[in-house]
């Protein structure tokens, strides 16, 4: 019993020392052990399969849908993943893990799994979530095109005509959703500049902390703090404060309203 | 001898411009009513909720969202906010250069 306790204390001390002295190499050039890579990869796959199981797959493969998928793929995906005969961009080649070759993914993954991955992204892989940038319809168009990838020669891929024929329509939702706003806060990278209670982030004080923002009388030193003004400020900071360092992040009306609803809970 | 010379230099510099005094800055922050709009740790009754809290302002990257945070810029902002952002609601409180320097010395302790 005493030996076991001693061993646990030594192990805990070793873990703390490894943490404190930076023993773990975070460099993107430091590769995982084969077993670590296998575990992470399989773990991710299991997780995606589990969560994608209940997603209903719409009909895929209509030519217009594929053309739309091609256009979106070229705008958002090829930079990291490459395409038949097309290398990923320089920045993507430096990533660890390297972005997957989607020809293989398209052969092995179910459509609902590809949809889930595009929509939700995957932490610590570099894969972003697209649900705050693309509608479900658009994501399905990308899935429809991704399924064609294994059958495309480099030449056919180059000759494909992409066309984004779909019309972006914002989803009209009656009431603001603070929980969704909290997720949107991460998806617009607000935490890279502001510390925000309830949202885990780097706590880098580039701008002011947002604890107590609901009680603050003035926004950006300029606007009375009302829900409408918060939405206005979030969507177009330079319209309010032309000199502001806060960038316009292209926040949609719905997302801004949900973010404002969350911030209104920070009393 | 060299030590004496350097002490002399320090003493003379002290005569030319009064030493920056963070403690005096703390009292000045109270005297100028900064606390009616800002929360400022260590300053009596500074619990305002109009502008941003100044806890940790020394580490903040921007002042008022418009100026890179350096001691010089902070002093300049305190003395004349509208020079840097014409739309700001923060008033010009007629703070002297020396007083602003002392306030900055205190605020830069808030890490």
- Mapped onto helix, strand or coil, the DSSP state of residue A30 is coil
pTM equals: 0.86
Cβ A198 vs Cβ A263: under 8 Å: no
Task: Kindly write down the DSSP assignment for every residue of A219-254, as one continuous string.
Answer: ETTTEE--HHHHHHHHH-HHHH-TT-SS------HH
Residue B69 lies inside a defined structural domain of this protein: yes
The whole-chain average pLDDT of chain A stands at 94
Q: How many CB atoms lie within 10 A of CB A178?
A: 16
Cβ A230 vs Cβ B83: under 8 Å: no
Q: Record the tokens describing residue A51, joined without a space.
A: 């969560």
Average pLDDT over residues A201-211: 94
> Residue A201: which H helix or E strand, with range?
none
Distance CA B32, CA B23 (A): 14
> Does residue A132 have a pLDDT over 60?
yes
Give the pLDDT confidence score for residue A168 in this predicted structure. Answer: 66
Distance CA A115, CA A106 (A): 11
Ranges A164-168, A170-174, A186-190: which has the least confidence: A164-168
Give the pLDDT confidence score for residue B2 in this predicted structure. Answer: 57
Give the pLDDT confidence score for residue B104 in this predicted structure. Answer: 98
Q: Could you report the per-residue pLDDT of B49-84, keeping only the tens digit for each?
A: 999 999 999 999 999 999 999 999 999 999 999 999
Residue B5 lies inside a defined structural domain of this protein: no
Give the pLDDT confidence score for residue B89 in this predicted structure. Answer: 96
Q: How many CB atoms lie within 10 A of CB A239?
A: 11
Residues 214-243 of A with CB under 8 A from B: 215-218, 220-222, 240-243
Q: Which residues contact B70 (CB under 8 A, 6 or more apart)?
A: none
Of B94, B34, B22, whose CA–CA distance to B58 is shortest?
A: B22
Give the pLDDT confidence score for residue A163 in this predicted structure. Answer: 84
Residue holding tokens 């217009």? A64
Task: Give the count of domains, chain B.
Answer: 1
Q: Record the tokens describing residue A226, joined without a space.
A: 């009302």
pLDDT bucket at B10, cuts 50 / 70 / 90: very low
CA distance B10 to chain A (A): 35
CA distance B88 to chain A (A): 5
Domain extent, residue B99, equals 20-107
Percent of chain A past pLDDT 70, that is, above it, reads 97
Q: What is the 3-state secondary structure (H, E, C) of A80-138?
A: HHCECCECCCHHHHCCCCCCCCHHHHHHHCCHHHHHHHHHHCECCCCECCCCCCCCHHH
Give the pLDDT confidence score for residue B16 in this predicted structure. Answer: 55
Q: Record the tokens describing residue A203, joined without a space.
A: 């706590």
Give the pLDDT confidence score for residue A55 in this predicted structure. Answer: 98
Q: Which residues of A98-131 are buried (b: 16+ CB within 10 A; e: fewer)?
A: bbbebbebbeebebbbbbbbbbbeeeebbbebbb
Distance CA B83, CA B63 (A): 13
Q: Could you report the per-residue pLDDT of A34-45, keeping only the tens digit for each?
A: 999 999 999 999
Q: Could you report the per-residue pLDDT of A55-88, keeping only the tens digit for each?
A: 999 999 999 999 999 999 999 999 999 999 999 9
Q: Is this prediction's ipTM beyond 0.85?
A: no
Q: CB-hemisphere CA count at 13 Å for A234?
A: 26
Give the pLDDT confidence score for residue A29 in this predicted structure. Answer: 94
> Does residue A16 have a pLDDT over 50?
yes
Give the pLDDT confidence score for residue A174 in this predicted structure. Answer: 79
Q: Which residues of B touch A245 (CB under 8 A)?
A: 62, 65-66
Q: Which residues of A touch B55 (CB under 8 A)?
A: 209
Residues 3-42 of B with CB under 8 A from A: none
Residue B70 lies inside a defined structural domain of this protein: yes
Q: Would you put residue B33 in left (φ > 0), alpha (ψ -120 to 50) or beta?
A: left
Residue B15 lies inside a defined structural domain of this protein: no
Distance CA A203, CA A159 (A): 47
Q: Could you report the per-residue pLDDT of B12-39, keeping only the tens digit for each?
A: 454 556 789 999 999 999 999 999 999 9
Please judge whether A221 and B60 are an interchain contact, meaning their C-beta atoms are less than 8 angstroms apart. Answer: no
Cβ A221 vs Cβ A235: under 8 Å: no
Measured between CB atoms, does A43 come within 8 Å of chain B?
A: no
Give the pLDDT confidence score for residue A164 in this predicted structure. Answer: 76
Identify the structural domains of chain A with CATH numbers, from first to last.
34-159 (1.10.760.10), 178-263 (2.60.40.420)
Give the pLDDT confidence score for residue B95 in this predicted structure. Answer: 98
Measured between CB atoms, does B2 come within 8 Å of chain A?
A: no
Q: Residue B58 to residues A85, A93, B46, B47, B102: CA-CA distances in angstroms?
A: 52, 38, 17, 18, 14
Distance CA B60, CA B69 (A): 7
Q: Residue A143 to residues A58, A63, A65, A83, A148: CA-CA distances in angstroms?
A: 11, 13, 10, 14, 9
> Does residue B48 have a pLDDT over 80?
yes
Give the pLDDT confidence score for residue A187 in this predicted structure. Answer: 95
Give the pLDDT confidence score for residue B18 in this predicted structure. Answer: 72
CATH of residue B75's domain is 2.60.40.420
Select the residue of B52, B56, B66 nearest A244 (Cβ to Cβ): B66
Residue B24 lies inside a defined structural domain of this protein: yes
> Does residue B8 have a pLDDT over 70?
no
pLDDT bucket at B108, cuts 50 / 70 / 90: very high
> Does residue B45 have a pLDDT over 50?
yes
Q: Would you put residue B94 in left (φ > 0), alpha (ψ -120 to 50) or beta?
A: left
Average pLDDT over residues A251-262: 96
Residue holding tokens 């894969």? A127
pLDDT bucket at A26, cuts 50 / 70 / 90: very high
Give the pLDDT confidence score for residue B37 in this predicted structure. Answer: 97
DSSP lists the bridge partners of residue A39 as none
């Amino acid at each position: 019993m005493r030996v076991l306790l001693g061993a646990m204390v030594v192990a805990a001390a070793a873990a703390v020392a490894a943490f404190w002295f930076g023993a773990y190499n975070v460099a993107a050039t430091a590769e995982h052990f084969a077993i670590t890579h296998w575990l992470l990869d399989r773990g991710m796959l299991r997780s995606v399969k589990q969560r994608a199981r209940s997603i209903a797959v719409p009909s895929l493969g209509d030519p217009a849908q594929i053309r739309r998928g091609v256009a979106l793929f070229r705008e958002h995906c090829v930079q990291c993943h490459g395409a038949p005969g097309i290398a990923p961009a320089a920045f993507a080649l430096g990533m660890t893990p390297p972005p997957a070759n989607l020809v293989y993914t398209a052969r092995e993954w179910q459509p609902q799994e590809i949809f889930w991955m595009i929509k939700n992204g995957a932490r610590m892989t570099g894969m972003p979530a697209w649900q705050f940038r693309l509608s479900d319809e658009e994501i399905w168009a990308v899935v429809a095109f991704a399924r064609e990838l294994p059958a495309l020669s480099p030449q056919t891929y180059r000759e494909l005509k992409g066309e984004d024929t779909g019309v972006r329509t914002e989803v009209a939702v009656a009431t603001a959703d603070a929980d969704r706003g909290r997720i949107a806060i991460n998806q617009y990278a607000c935490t890279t500049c502001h510390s925000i209670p309830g949202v885990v982030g780097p706590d880098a004080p580039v701008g002011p902390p947002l604890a107590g923002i609901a009680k603050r009388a003035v926004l950006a030193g300029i606007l009375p703090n009302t829900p409408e003004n918060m939405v206005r400020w979030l969507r177009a900071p330079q319209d309010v404060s032309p000199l502001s360092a806060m960038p316009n992040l292209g926040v949609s009306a719905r997302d801004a309203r949900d973010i404002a609803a969350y911030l209104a809970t920070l009393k | 001898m060299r030590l004496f010379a350097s002490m002399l230099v320090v003493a003379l510099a002290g005569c030319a411009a009064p030493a920056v005094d963070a403690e005096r800055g703390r009292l000045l922050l109270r005297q100028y009513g900064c606390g009616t709009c800002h929360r400022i740790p260590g300053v009596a009754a500074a619990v305002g909720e109009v502008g941003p809290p100044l806890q940790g302002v020394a580490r903040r990257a921007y002042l008022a969202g418009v100026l890179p945070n350096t001691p010089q810029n902070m002093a300049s902002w305190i003395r004349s906010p509208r020079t840097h952002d014409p739309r700001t609601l923060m008033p010009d409180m007629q703070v002297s250069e020396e007083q602003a320097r002392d306030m900055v010395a205190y605020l830069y302790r808030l890490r």
